Structure 1
Amino acid sequence: MAQFTFEGDFEVLADPQIKLVESALQKQGFTNGKIIVEPVGQKGDNYVAHVKRFIYEAEDGTTFKMIGKVAPVAEQIRLMMNTMVLFNNETVMYNLVLPKLNDIQNSAGATDDEKVRFPTCYGVVTEEPYEFILLEDLKEAGFEMLDRLKPLTNESVRLIVKDLAKYHSLSYAFKNSEPEIYENYSNKLKNMWTIMSAEPESQQFFESGENDLLKMMHDVSDKYKNVLRGSLTQIAAIAKKLQSYEKGSKFSVILQGDCWNNNILFRLEDGKPVEDVMIDYQLSNESSPASDLLYLIFNCTDHATRLKHYQEWIDYYHENLDYSLKLHGLKANRIFSKDQLDADLRRYGKCMVILGVMLSSMLVRESKDVVDMKEMTADREKLVEDTIALMDVSLLDVSTIVKIRERIMGIIDTALEFGLI
């Protein structure tokens, strides 16, 4: 019988999660040894899950590492953060969608350079409230997370844009070849932003956030305040309108959904990124490819870099989409033309600008200022009040407020420059 001992930061683990770790190790051929559990990252690196590294050490010195995403168990935290929805999405992606996409690219005879790399999933626990996803530790393959507080370079963005094009082409190929299975899988994914926008507590949060931003931007040009005024509070109506457009749209794909710095790892050579891999699929849903592109561009780059390269990125994306679709016997002009891409960029522009503005105050905070909501416990009403209070930008230091202001103005400047709002 296999015998493993756990050491370190494993108190948060429940029995179903421990059993999955042991089972995954047994499938790798390990039958006994020590498992050291370590926390991964710091506050601000992950808002939804406790992330742990599992380091297996055999008596002969053999080691094997895995990464586990552990759901919070406190009921009110789970309700407020929609933990069930988020972990369901990622489970669907790792259990169903990504294996299917991987089969499609293998069947097409794609070379390593033509493939999207997906993290290996060693198993999941779907039992509430013990949701758990056990994944490959990509650090072992030389991948690392870049500084989330620094905008990505043009070189990094081009790598991701190319991967998004390949990823979206696989979704189109899946939709074209097996439409019923595609529809079944995509229907299992829930649009988190649409769900949030319809919740009364979220509306309260958006209203408070908009007021805080307007106070913070009181002395800037009216062009910024005019965009901000009524923006966050309109998100529910905008989301509903887009959802109506997406329903049954032949242009929609299964998105990555959360393409920002911490969800993209890079392998570096001589300090420069040469390969990337996307790691988080909790916000995956079905929508236009333009959503992934704009989410990446607004949340991971600065205005100066966007001014130089925005159109280049869009063109590069479509060139690679066309190339990748041809591997599956499809043509971009029929599946998702450049004209359609441009139209969808304009259609989704306002929504993505609002999301970028809303996320700005979260994504530029130092770890000491991050609200770790998954650690909070309280009744639902008090939890909303506490979260709103902790997110208040007026409590931040001057340098952080300056960064938030510059980021928001940059997003609006970009959107106005390229006709996205």
Structure 2
Amino acid sequence: MENPVELDTQWLGRLLKKHYEDDEPADIVSVNVEPAVPKGENYTSIVMRVKMNIVTHSGCKKTFSLIVKSAKTSKEAAEALKGFSVFRNETKMFITMLKQMEALMEEFGDKRDTLWATLYGYEPYSIMVLEDLKEKNFALIDRKGWQDLDHSLLVLRSLGRYHAMTKILIGRGLIDDSDKGHYFAGLNTPVKSGLFNGAIHMLSKALINKLGSWPAGWEDIGKRIQKQKDVLCNTLEELYINYDKKFEALNHGDLWSSNMMFKKMEYTNIPIAVKFVDYQLPHLSSFMWDVTYFMYSSVKPSIRRPNVDVLLKAYHESLSDNLKFFK
């Protein structure tokens, strides 16, 4: 048997260093700035795509793209977000919790992609610079549309992995009550009251008057909902505050179609990877906030209703498997 070749590890280290140095930008040739999302698609931030044509140290010409996210500073935005430090929340998520999850993945040799973009840098707490996921073939889907079974299963399996990692960090004391956060649906604030009262009013009006796609036969339910606005708001607050701690996880907080990007198999509509974006409403509570919010805001009703058990099983299996993996 031949003896293994004795490797010069110092030489290998120099090769790696040179490789990464050669790819580093030496000069910026041109810069183009454009909106990264359509007007009205982001309520709390201004999101721009910055494309730079660069020359590397090795002389290669490359195009590099970044996402620059800045907080809205208008009086209207400040009033609407009063009491919710969404930009501070998201920055904290990236520099603490998500970094801890990356360290957890490294500790256990988890080579799967992260479920979030890379943060390149930030100015506290007004600007964040992130990798452009579009460069890795991730794309948003129509937020007004519904997700099919393939997309929904991928999201719930990924969410199970995300929640499992937060559960491990909670168990290690790396996420505690100081990271509880605030979920707008669970707090008795003017923002929550205005939003929910308005939404319930519009829903009951649609049911009573058969607006949009609502057929006849829902009028009585619409009237009953209209009378129970305060009860519904109070119940949400109670569910947020009182829950079994053994089911506690750090929720994303706004997990619906507009806050996720998918990579698809080439020439198909089959999703093979997902990234969650907009970590502005993280909060400690029952994991069912994320699960329920996603299933009822984003999954096509004709898909969700006959497949509720299939969808929940996918989430549960992923949660259980990842809890075992990271123990």
Normalising by structure 2, what TM-score?
0.81
Amino acid at match of 2:275: V
Q: Does 1:140 align with 2:130?
A: no
Kindly indicate whether the alpha-carbon contact (under 8 Å) linking 2:44 and 2:77 is maintained by their aligned counterparts in 1: no
Corresponding residue of 2:254: 258
Deviation at 1:29, TM superposition (A): 4.0
Structure 2 vs 1, CA of residues 202 and 118 (structure 1 numbering), >3 Å: closer, same or farther?
closer
Supply the distance in 2 between the matched residues of 1:164 and 1:126 (Cα, whole angstroms). Answer: 28
Does the residue aligned with 1:151 lie in a helix, a strand or coil?
A: coil
Does the residue aligned with 1:150 lie in a helix, a strand or coil?
A: coil
Q: Does 1:122 align with 2:112?
A: no
Q: How does 1:4-403 map to 2 (within 5 A)?
A: 29-58=25-54, 61-82=61-82, 85-112=85-112, 116-127=114-125, 131-176=126-171, 178-179=172-173, 181-183=174-176, 186-187=179-180, 189-195=181-187, 197-199=188-190, 202-219=192-209, 220-222=217-219, 224-225=221-222, 228-246=225-243, 249-269=245-265, 270-271=267-268, 272-329=270-327
Deviation at 1:303, TM superposition (A): 1.7
Amino acid at match of 1:165: G
Supply the distance in 2 between the matched residues of 1:326 and 1:96 (Cα, whole angstroms). Answer: 23
The CA deviation string for residues 44-82 of structure 1, in whole angstroms up to 9 with x for no partner, is 422221110011122563221111221111234213224
Structure 2 vs 1, CA of residues 38 and 229 (structure 1 numbering), >3 Å: closer, same or farther?
same
Larger % of helix: which? Answer: 1
Amino acid at match of 2:152: V
Deviation at 1:215, TM superposition (A): 2.3
Unaligned runs of 5+ in 1: 1-26, 330-421
Kindly indicate whether the alpha-carbon contact (under 8 Å) linking 1:85 and 1:190 is maintained by their aligned counterparts in 2: no
Kindly indicate whether the alpha-carbon contact (under 8 Å) linking 1:53 and 1:67 is maintained by their aligned counterparts in 2: yes
* Larger-Rg structure: 2
Corresponding residue of 2:3: none
Deviation at 1:230, TM superposition (A): 4.0
Kindly indicate whether the alpha-carbon contact (under 8 Å) linking 2:28 and 2:52 is maintained by their aligned counterparts in 1: no
Amino acid at match of 1:282: Q
Identity percentage over the alignment?
A: 22
Supply the distance in 2 between the matched residues of 1:106 and 1:64 (Cα, whole angstroms). Answer: 27
Deviation at 1:84, TM superposition (A): 5.5
Supply the distance in 2 between the matched residues of 1:125 and 1:230 (Cα, whole angstroms). Answer: 46
- RMSD over aligned Cα atoms: 2.4
Deviation at 1:156, TM superposition (A): 0.5
Corresponding residue of 1:360: none
Amino acid at match of 2:206: M
Kindly indicate whether the alpha-carbon contact (under 8 Å) linking 2:208 and 2:220 is maintained by their aligned counterparts in 1: no
Deviation at 1:163, TM superposition (A): 0.3
The CA deviation string for residues 352-403 of structure 1, in whole angstroms up to 9 with x for no partner, is xxxxxxxxxxxxxxxxxxxxxxxxxxxxxxxxxxxxxxxxxxxxxxxxxxxx
Larger % of strand: which? Answer: 2
Kindly indicate whether the alpha-carbon contact (under 8 Å) linking 1:116 and 1:166 is maintained by their aligned counterparts in 2: no
Kindly indicate whether the alpha-carbon contact (under 8 Å) linking 1:85 and 1:192 is maintained by their aligned counterparts in 2: no
